[in-house]
Amino acid sequence: MPEPRTWQFTAGSAALGLALAAAAVTVAGPWDGGQRTAERARAAAPATGGTHHAPPPAPAAPRRPAPAPSAPGVLTALHAPAPAGRAADLAAVLVPLLADPGLGPLRTASVVDTATGKQLYGEGAATPMTPASTVKIATAAAALSALGPEHRIPTTVTAAPDGAAVTLTGGGDPTLDPARLKALADDTARALKARGHTSVRLAYDTSLYRGPALHPIGPNENIAPVVALMTREGRLDDSSSGPAPRTADPARDTAGAFADLLTRAGIKITGEAAPGRTPKAAPLARTDSAPLADLVERTLTHSDNDLAEALARQTALAHKQPASFQGAEKAVRDELTRLRLPLAGARFTDGSGLDRRDRVSAALLTGLLTRAADPARPALRPLLTGLPVSGFTGTLAGRFGSDPATAGAGLVRAKTGTLSGVNTLAGTVVTADGRLLAFAFLAGRTVSPDQAQPALDRLSAALAGKN
């Protein structure tokens, strides 16, 4: 049975709405491509360390994650005063839009005022549905809650006691790239030479992850084998996001590339790189990922499946669960339970949403977004700042076009979800009177994304006062 509908909505002035849209477009504009300037700066800077370095400075005080370029409009709305009254009937706006045949026969909805946590509209909001990639909101929230926004994922090199061998150890960082791998090799070479070694055997250790490496959907251009050691998500082309040809053995390829880089740095590699275990010793060298806040934003902006699975496994490790699909599912659920969210019927069989067995409700998604808007939970804020901006960034860059019914560009920020027969959208919208609403619309048994996606866009644009 569908839930009783509750609703409130305010129709602000057209002039104020246009002003808010202009401001949001200014800060969310296409100039940054959905990536934070801070993230680019960090990516360009060396992130490795070896034993030859001087002692590191004392750690800086923890910082809050810097917001994405489009965040000011969203974060300002968190503190907007509550309006005196709401004249429009939200249900009168949403019910006809939810009846769009493009959404198929199964559709649920939840709209929540983030300032109060009150549900303004609900249609089957507690019904578990296949979420597709909107499950990444849950994956990211669990990782941030369990580990904090400053957590980084390491890749290390450790020498055997006799110095005759070194082991490259994967910590689960799919964002490791050739530049960082080279810096890691250079640091390793310097450390080895300082110990008087110029010839070593090379092993690589992927034992951090357990269980099957292949996602249940099997070999697929949407995701590489889920292993603890890889470079550029196992991509075999020049792409940085989206589908791409993938290597069948990302760890072996990374170890081979590392061996070549060590050779160029003056270290002879004897034999072929082979799987092995990490010696019990302090690492010779190390490279760390960007902070978790940055990784979450990248995951959400570009719907990064490989990174989402890595976040789920980092959560498993934080909960002392096996870093596997099953261990990650338990850890994510346990962490979301700590956040007191509605989890009846929820399933997290993967972290990316590629698995059709995943189940979440619209109420769970809006609950997660509302938690992220809570001033008392700043660690969850990247859930908001990482959402794609309608008409400008990530997976929403090509949506919310010139059709007046979907002209919410710059005002809607949302995570998309698309599988065959499944289309979803969950995020936030700034209303014409400056309020921040969280919404989730889930549709199943849809005929075509070409019909379902515009229908979802019209629903979220209506919340911005566009209809």
List active site positions: 133, 136, 303
The runs of H, that is alpha helices, within 207-282 are: 250-264
Nearest Cα neighbor of 217 from 354, 357, 358 is 354
Burial letters 22-57, b for 16+ CB under 10 A, else e: ebbbebbeeebebbbebbeeebeeebbbbbeeeeee
Give residue for tokens 């969280």.
Answer: 438
Query: Strands 118-123 and 154-159: what pairing?
Result: unpaired
Q: CA angle, corner 437, sides to 436 and 438, nearest 5?
A: 125
CA distance from start to end of the chain: 28
Q: How far is CA 107 from the centre of its chain?
A: 24
The SS3 of residue 422 is strand
The rounded distance, in Å, linking the Cα atoms of 349 and 78 is 32
The rounded distance, in Å, linking the Cα atoms of 388 and 290 is 19
CA dihedral 248, 292, 128, 326 (to 10 degrees): 50
Phi–psi pair at 321, nearest 5 degrees? -105, 155
| C-alpha torsion sign, points 400, 401, 404, 405 | negative
Nearest Cα neighbor of 34 from 382, 341, 289, 366 is 382
Reading the block at residue 356, the tokens are 């059709």
Reading the block at residue 425, the tokens are 């959208």
Amino acid in position 421: G
* Residue 410: partners with Cβ closer than 8 Å, 6 or more residues away: 21, 22, 24, 25, 28, 70, 73, 389, 390, 391, 392
